[in-house]
Structure 1
Amino acid sequence: MSTNLDENLTKLDGYLARFRQDGIRNHIDGQSVAASSGESFETRSPVDNSLICGVAKGGAQDIDAAAKAAKAAFPAWRDMRASERKAILNRIADAIVERAEEIALCECWDTGQALRFMSKAALRGAENFRFFAEKATAARDGQSLPSATLMNITTRVPIGPVGVITPWNTPFMLSTWKIAPALAAGCTVVHKPAEFSPLTARILMEIADEAGLPKGVWNLVNGFGEDAGKALTEHPDIKAIAFVGESRTGSMIMKQGADTLKRVHFELGGKNPVVVFDDADLDRALDAAVFMIYSLNGERCTSSSRLLVQSSIAEEFQAKLVERVNRIRVGHPLDPATEIGPLIHKVHYDKVTSYFDVARQDGATIAAGGTTPESKGYYVAPTLFTDARPDMRIAQEEIFGPVLTAIPFETEEEALEIANGVAYGLTGYVWTNDITRALRFTDKLEAGMIWVNSENVRHLPTPFGGVKASGIGRDGGDWSFEFYMEQKHIGLALGQHAIPKLGAN
């Protein structure tokens, strides 16, 4: 990857040339196809609102064709030797690494994410495929549970064709995170990526096709949630839906899938606390707090968007925080020096910037940022709200941008009450050098994932997911297989045990 903006722009132009000429098409049953309606929509770069290319606008008819292709391909993929599936997944991982630069530059241009973070997105995606490739051979493993009369054994079998709906933030990595375990389990897939960022989903589909994935095993349909997404969640041939996105959309998907009894896995929103006690290593806590809200443009579900800092250190800590926030480099996402790029789309930009007025109206202080640099793109200065109360909208609602709300607390009990006092429960970050306090606090903290004296460090075998409005189910390791597979019990008689007789006399 070049360290020069102009070189990266030149390389990007070469990668985008074919998309500008041909657009982004759907991929159904092994074939690259236009939408059945012939319609398309535009994807534009948040950097300068320039047109990237046209995208096939899939609808119910396209979803139906993809679902039927996935259903037809399922028996052969399910019954393929796990070692063969493993080999295909590893070939996909190899090809991802080979095209890592293309993936990173296209992702930055399509999403506005800074290259310093996206440069590793492809490698993390390859890691996801390799991890689940290794687990494919043991995905069906079960238990032996003997009783007095039976040898009871369990096994797991793939659930069938599944729908995967991925978001616009870090779309490549999140696509691999969902699709790799589905394929490793033996499921077939219909993938609908977010309409705001379709580029790398198409590249990933091409990689899988060239790696020898049988036709129909993985299908790609672009489109909008109200037509393609709804059709996917309602389709009777789709047995489960894995969705990453907003909590309200997750609720809608659950309703849409109810008639066909869809199994669902939801990774939804967050309003995650980072709790800093006065005995913490404050320099490290500051580094982690800044990183976890301002990296990835703040457009991440695990961001530490609420800073709960103990009153005895709040003034000093916030002064250092303001200084750091004001030094964060906002700029072109393909410039390796950039730390924050533009937000994904005008719709989201308008949402994030609306909270500047909300903060003022509710009586909070904008201690840093709260401005929008002049640009053709959707840039927002990294922002810090102070003097906030737990009941303010800026402390309750997911903003999903580079915006941090600081709230002071006096006691451990008050910190816990504030931390738990939101609808969400995805992650939490606790900074203290008192191990007994850490154990007490994490036990009571309502979150699916908690890091103590650390930023979010993802370990693939561990469970990933939230509680309350932040989601249902877990990703990672065997937890992924629990979603994509059905548990089966088989009881084998050990002898001729007594069987109750009815109607024998």
Structure 2
Amino acid sequence: MPLDQIGADAPAAVIPVFDPATAEQIAEVPDVGPRAVDAAVARARATFESGVWREMLPKHRAKVLWRVAEIVDRRIDEIVEVEARNNGMARWLARNLIASAAEVFRYYAGWVTKIHGQSTDIMAEGGISGANARYHAYTLKEPVGVAGLIIPWNGPFYGAMVKLAPALAAGCSCVLKPAEETPLTSLMLPEILAEAGVPDGVVNIITGYGETTGAALARHPDVDKIAFTGSTETGKLIVQAAAGNLKRVTLELGGKTPVLIYDDADLSKAVPGAGLGIFINAGQGCVCGSRLYVQRGVYDQVVEGLANFGKAMKLGGSDDPEAQVGPIISQRQLQRVSNLVEEGRVQGAEVVSGGRILDRPGYFFEPTVVTNVRPDMRMMQEEIFGPVIAVIPFDDEEEVIAEANNSTYGLAAGVWTREIARAHRLAKRLEAGTVWLNAQLAWDVSQPFGGYKQSGWGYEYGWEGLNAYLKTKTVYAEI
């Protein structure tokens, strides 16, 4: 769908949509508000109760999900064009994420025919008759119902597909709200899903601000589950909103990923690994490694290598085929990143490289390496969501574990060392839902992903991601 047609029929209350690489408006979408949320939820509820999707034979539902992946593959150039312009990310990254989104649908298509409970025979003492009783007991796995899906702006199409795939595999009907900054590829989904064979009304797309449309979805009494990816602050508000009907909640929230580089690490891999781990997508990822702890023996070497790595990265918009790092999503977020760096500088931090807003159209911030930081600085405590990394020296393991775990977040962590025993020992001690050993940003849809502490509730991906959209019923039959 061309950009100039998306949102063309929007009412007066609209949200402007920008290309972050140029700061130019490229579309507008409606802030639909609570009444439209009511209508979308009602459509989802009607399709769920009718069984048009959840009672479809599993093998047929699996084929539909597989066709979604095939259509995405076929239309990937078109989706990349919209995604890259709306989000600002480099085209190579947009292509990788969209191709991965198709694979997520293929993965969950395979699960559709394998959703089942357990059965067992039970002997219980003192039945109603006073004698021992024998039962055949079994469990049923059933879709949770209507799922509200709220996705972020840092990987919009991928984020939508990651939530839709397990929800549809489970048999749920859905209402999906994209981030107000990046709604455009989500608005391509109805056409894709319809062509694949998803019945009308099973997936409903609504657009709007979080405090209006998103809040109405989160508190809606006829929504059975909310799956949200975004900030920890908003996640807490969603928990409060969900209390009305005690809806189930899955939260993938913020992170402040610590990365540890030991003296014995292979620096030819560790330095670019740490660089890509923070500068990719302009640092706009919940697992980006913004805190780098380096053993003192290689500290100066790592700082210099990381600064050079950042300086060598080419910044550019989606129209630049050589761009490696794109812009920050909005002027507001750009200013927040800049303010956090400047605040650290005033408090004594040293900006080794970068640290400036680029003097060019769009919302570009240089890849930035900062040293001489303290644990109480905001840049060490808050999720920056920008291409900024703080590098801290350490001497021994106990010291660095305490510092790495000194965070309200616990989404991911990384370790670079050649000593295998140390690597696995640290994997157990780091308080994070995902730990990378001699790697960063490794991912597979078969492995669960979720956070410790205030980085979230529940898991996405794998069986656990599917189970998040299922409920369990136990049945006893006397025999």
Q: TM-score range by the shorter chain?
A: over 0.9
Residue of structure 2 equivalent to 1:108: 84
Q: Could you tell me how far 1:61 is from its partner in structure 2?
A: 0.4
Matching of residue 361 in structure 1 with residue 346 in structure 2? yes
In structure 2, which of residues 268, 292, 309 is the aligned counterpart of residue 324 of structure 1?
A: 309
Question: Which whole-Å CA distance do the structure 2 matches of 1:279 and 1:145 have between them?
Answer: 53
Cα-Cα RMSD? 1.3
What code does the residue aligned with 2:119 have?
S
Q: Could you tell me how far 1:147 is from its partner in structure 2?
A: 2.0
What code does the residue aligned with 2:398 have?
E
Residue of structure 1 equivalent to 2:120: 145
Matching of residue 405 in structure 1 with residue 390 in structure 2? yes
Residue of structure 2 equivalent to 1:72: 46
Q: Could you tell me how far 1:103 is from its partner in structure 2?
A: 0.9
Residue of structure 1 equivalent to 2:126: none
Question: Which whole-Å CA distance do the structure 1 matches of 2:266 and 2:477 have between them?
Answer: 58
Question: Which whole-Å CA distance do the structure 1 matches of 2:46 and 2:168 have between them?
Answer: 15
What code does the residue aligned with 2:30 have?
A
Question: Which whole-Å CA distance do the structure 1 matches of 2:381 and 2:440 have between them?
Answer: 21
Matching of residue 344 in structure 1 with residue 320 in structure 2? no
Matching of residue 452 in structure 1 with residue 431 in structure 2? no
Deviations 1:117-168 (A, max 9, x none): 11222211111111111111112x1122332222221221001001000000
Question: Which whole-Å CA distance do the structure 2 matches of 1:97 and 1:272 have between them?
Answer: 32
Larger mean Cα displacement after TM superposition, 48-57 or 195-204: 48-57
Could you tell me the percent identity over the aligned residues?
A: 38
Secondary structure of the residue aligned to 1:489 is strand
Residue of structure 2 equivalent to 1:3: none
Q: How many residues align?
A: 467
Matching of residue 91 in structure 1 with residue 91 in structure 2? no
Question: Which whole-Å CA distance do the structure 2 matches of 1:157 and 1:290 have between them?
Answer: 44
Residue of structure 1 equivalent to 2:26: 52
Matching of residue 172 in structure 1 with residue 157 in structure 2? yes
CA 1:444–1:83 in structure 2 vs 1: closer, same or farther (change >3 Å)? Answer: same
Spell out the pairing of 1:269-284 with structure 2 (5 A cutoff): 269-284=254-269
Larger mean Cα displacement after TM superposition, 309-318 or 185-194: 309-318
Question: Which whole-Å CA distance do the structure 2 matches of 1:152 and 1:260 have between them?
Answer: 29
Residue of structure 2 equivalent to 1:62: 36
Question: Which whole-Å CA distance do the structure 2 matches of 1:389 and 1:40 have between them?
Answer: 43
Q: Could you tell me how far 1:23 is from its partner in structure 2?
A: 3.4
Output the TM-score relative to the length of structure 1. 0.90
Deviations 1:203-226 (A, max 9, x none): 122211222211110000000111
- Segments of 4+ in structure 1 off by > 4 A? none
Spell out the pairing of 1:70-469 with structure 2 (5 A cutoff): 70-75=44-49, 76=51, 77-139=53-115, 141-148=116-123, 149-469=134-454
Secondary structure of the residue aligned to 1:120 is helix
Residue of structure 1 equivalent to 2:16: 42
Residue of structure 2 equivalent to 1:10: none
Secondary structure of the residue aligned to 1:260 is coil
Q: Could you tell me how far 1:38 is from its partner in structure 2?
A: 5.0
Secondary structure of the residue aligned to 2:369 is strand
Secondary structure of the residue aligned to 1:145 is strand
Matching of residue 478 in structure 1 with residue 478 in structure 2? no
Residue of structure 2 equivalent to 1:24: 7
Residue of structure 1 equivalent to 2:128: none
What code does the residue aligned with 1:95 have?
I
Conserved in 2, the CA contact under 8 Å of 1:104 and 1:121? no
Output the TM-score relative to the length of structure 2. 0.95
What code does the residue aligned with 2:355 have?
G
Secondary structure of the residue aligned to 2:193 is helix
Larger mean Cα displacement after TM superposition, 127-136 or 45-54: 45-54
Name structure 1 gaps, 5 residues minimum: 1-14, 26-33, 495-505
Deviations 1:275-314 (A, max 9, x none): 1111111211112101110011110001011101011110
Secondary structure of the residue aligned to 1:295 is helix
Question: Which whole-Å CA distance do the structure 2 matches of 1:245 and 1:124 have between them?
Answer: 20
Question: Which whole-Å CA distance do the structure 2 matches of 1:38 and 1:211 have between them?
Answer: 33
What code does the residue aligned with 1:122 have?
I
Question: Which whole-Å CA distance do the structure 2 matches of 1:321 and 1:129 have between them?
Answer: 36
Conserved in 2, the CA contact under 8 Å of 1:333 and 1:342? no
Conserved in 2, the CA contact under 8 Å of 1:164 and 1:241? yes
Question: Which whole-Å CA distance do the structure 2 matches of 1:364 and 1:348 have between them?
Answer: 21
Conserved in 2, the CA contact under 8 Å of 1:129 and 1:180? yes
Question: Which whole-Å CA distance do the structure 2 matches of 1:437 and 1:146 have between them?
Answer: 46
